[in-house]
A and B are shown apart, each in its own frame.
Chain A
């Protein structure tokens, strides 16, 4: 039985699914141990996110940058690159989109909004291109260089805000309406949530990633290089150029994630004392989503649900929000150790076969 299942089409879905179920289960055990009521806790999450429009709206809003970050990580991973630099690319995109919007104040919306979004995407792309270039040209490992690029992005954006775009409240001025993704309609529909049009950008980005990877010759090359740089080189592909491009596309998705925060959720950029963390969550989202567009959406939805619902869980079930972070961490841990899960499954299958 296990054997047949393992050879089946659904098998790849198994690890993420079982990780989620086990993560929720162990989370429940920890709640019990802490004297909390797990069923009540999960129920309150569920009820708020699915039955209260405000929380539904907030969940989707949280999802937008998570999904875009996840796409960024997944895209690079398809080319065999581990982009830890999504966080920095996101900050670069956030800042440049906001700065572009403020600097070009007075332009009509039809120009200014696309310009600001594209400016953010371009900034992220450049921030990804640099480590891509270092890897392709000098074989500098992308994990090291992207981590350094994260710090450079954090401190540079803070510096630029402080010296050139500062306003009261440790932040930039608010962007002009013409550059804003916020929507009174959406907000009204969701009883005052900060849901904005960025979800369309996220959807388009997901489609774009799928299209590039699976429908274009470029994507074919990127995946070939990801699976086997040697064979790709033997087939006449330019491995270095593909590495560079992969990091650039990846950075572009991350830059979009930043633009969504700047133009949608906040309408400005604040001075960040530390990393915002969305870029790092993107790694988990991509991992759980198995580096596919659809998977990244589902994983993003799950994490957003837990994060947003966690707030009501605290108020209604009296369970501290930290517990939700534990559940999220558990799920990530379980997916990460999927190797072990697969090993156990293989064992079980073997034993079944022996009998």
Chain B
């Protein structure tokens, strides 16, 4: 039997690194084949070779049994290979249909036939259950829809082998579910799919087989029906991965954070947090579950002094911090891992050493009389790099050139080193791979054991369920209910997150 795609003994070197080393990948027709590996393992490189963006240094590629040389993406298209990139390449001001036909427009008598284009797009969309409106402008549709437009683009060009490069990184949980359904539908209609991901859940949900890559080498290809998540995780990371769980007894201490009747406006001056009450104690992890946009961001920004408090009171360690400046709140004992580490957590063009003292640079021992002590800063940075296992050539490296996981480690190292009474972590593991997630979860649990208070905001229910001592469900700026993880389940949480409190009793 011939494979839809067969890549044999592919090698690709970049200066100083072998991104693909003797990689062999065999994708059967009509299967969803997952390509699984940590960040930097070489997945994108391999797919860029298949899509003609890079030339391999060695190795051969067969498409449907025929040996081919893929010199550029046009050639890949001609061979029926389409790629849905992580960053969409759409023109905002154009309609969906215009975007899709761009480059190979249907014509009638030499003139662009837009009606024909709309008809074709609609047909494709119906056939694969994509539910896309061809006449909408791209700027008016959601990210999830834009991704479907990208999928339609490849289908319109007649691709029957689709590559998805980390397609779920930008999607909400509901959109992810829908995408999985679309992928299943696509293979039913005879397409073959290569799915790049580092999320185990997705692999077990949709794929038939999985090839694991680590550090540029293939570790193995397995049938999903014959393996289990922890085996696969072990293959990827190269050692046993234990999903950290919060199994130490729940023994809350004194109140560390106390929020009373808090009202906060969002950027459009509409209340996003309404009369909210919340308490977090020392020695506990309080998870905040909720669908994005229900006031989580505004709540933590208000606590951090980054957003005006309209009404209510916030107390940290017994001190009233309502309306105080961020610096004062940090000094009162706040640690904060912001949601957007690149925009808010780090100065990307500062060195690691400089980033490690972002809130403490003005104090001893880092400065005296307004003059920085670079030596002490460097020593501190080296110590934290070691303790938190930040992979970097040196402490003088710019934060910009670190990988996402290592950037997050810098933020976490910095915040934990101050030993704050309250640690707020917003989406601390978003976009990170298994190894890094495990590390960060362990760090949060350690804070609990040290008797600190942890406020965890996450859209990943798994994360909330595994780590929290108590779960507060937020809906439209209010806490719907507070539940214990052992006494609830994803279903009940889902209903609460949708604002249905009466569901509680029935669930």
Contacts and interface: CB of A to CB of B under 8 A. Distances in A.
Contacts of A227: 347-350
Contacts of A219: 372
A224 B349 CA distance: 9
Contact of B358 (A4, A224, A230): A224
Which of A3, A223, A228, A231 has the most chain B CB within a 10 Å cutoff?
A231
Contacts of A4: 15
Interface stretch (A233-241, A249-257, A276-284): A233-241
Interface in B323-354: 325-327, 329-330, 336, 338, 343-350, 354
Contacts of A223: 350
B449 to A, nearest CB: 27
Contacts of B346: 231
Given A220-B361, A220-B372, A235-B359, A228 B326 contact: no
Contacts of B55: 354
B367 interface: yes
Interface of B: 14-15, 55, 304-306, 325-327, 329-330, 336, 338, 343-350, 354, 358-359, 361-362, 367, 370-372
Contacts of B362: 217
B350 A234 contact: no
A43 to B, nearest CB: 42
Given A215-B372, A217-B361, A7 B15 contact: yes
Nearest to A218: B370
A219 B370 CA distance: 9
Contacts of B336: 234
Contacts of A231: 343-347, 358
Nearest to B328: A236
A227 B343 CA distance: 10
Given A220-B354, A227-B347, A227-B348, A236 B359 contact: yes
Contacts of B15: 3-4, 7, 353
Given A220-B354, A220-B372, A234-B344, 20 more contacts: A7-B15, A214-B372, A216-B371, A218-B370, A228-B343, A228-B348, A228-B349, A231-B345, A231-B346, A231-B358, A234-B336, A234-B345, A235-B326, A235-B359, A236-B305, A236-B325, A236-B329, A236-B359, A237-B327, A354-B55
A236 B327 contact: yes
Which of A7, A221, A230, A234 has the most chain B CB within a 10 Å cutoff?
A234
A235 B371 contact: no
A230 to B, nearest CB: 5
B334 to A, nearest CB: 9
A232 interface: yes
Interface in A184-239: 214-221, 223-224, 227-228, 230-238
B347 A224 contact: yes
A235 B358 contact: yes
Contacts of A216: 370-372
Contacts of B367: 217
Contact of B371 (A217, A224, A236, A353): A217
A72 B396 CA distance: 27
Nearest to A219: B372
A246 B327 CA distance: 20
Contact of A233 (B306, B348, B354, B370): B306
B343 A233 contact: no
Interface in A301-355: 353-354
Nearest to A223: B350
14 contacts: A3-B15, A216-B372, A224-B350, A224-B358, A227-B347, A227-B349, A228-B343, A228-B349, A230-B344, A231-B345, A231-B347, A233-B326, A234-B306, A234-B338
Which of A3, A220, A232, A233 has the most chain B CB within a 10 Å cutoff?
A220
Nearest to A224: B347
A228 B305 CA distance: 18
Contacts of A353: 14-15
B306 A215 contact: no
A230 B361 CA distance: 17
Which of A4, A232, A236 has the most chain B CB within a 10 Å cutoff?
A236
A223 to B, nearest CB: 8
Contacts of B329: 236
Which of A3, A214, A228 has the most chain B CB within a 10 Å cutoff?
A228
A217 to B, nearest CB: 5
Contacts of A230: 343-344
A228 B338 CA distance: 15
Closest A-B pairs by Cβ, 10 of them: A236-B327, A236-B326, A235-B358, A234-B344, A227-B349, A217-B362, A217-B367, A227-B347, A228-B347, A236-B330
A233 B344 CA distance: 8
A224 B356 CA distance: 13
Nearest to A355: B55
Contacts of A228: 343, 347-349
Contact of A215 (B14, B325, B348, B371): B371
A7 B305 CA distance: 40
A344 B74 CA distance: 24
Nearest to B16: A7
Nearest to B366: A217
Nearest to B363: A217
Contacts of B354: 220
B299 to A, nearest CB: 15
Contacts of B306: 233-234
A234 B326 contact: yes
A215 B361 CA distance: 11
Interface string A250-282: 000000000000000000000000000000000
Contacts of B326: 233-236
Contacts of B358: 224, 231, 235
Contacts of B347: 224, 227-228, 231-232
Contacts of A234: 304, 306, 326, 336, 338, 344-345
Contacts of B14: 353
Contacts of B325: 236, 238
Nearest to B354: A220
Contacts of B344: 230-231, 234
A85 B394 CA distance: 40
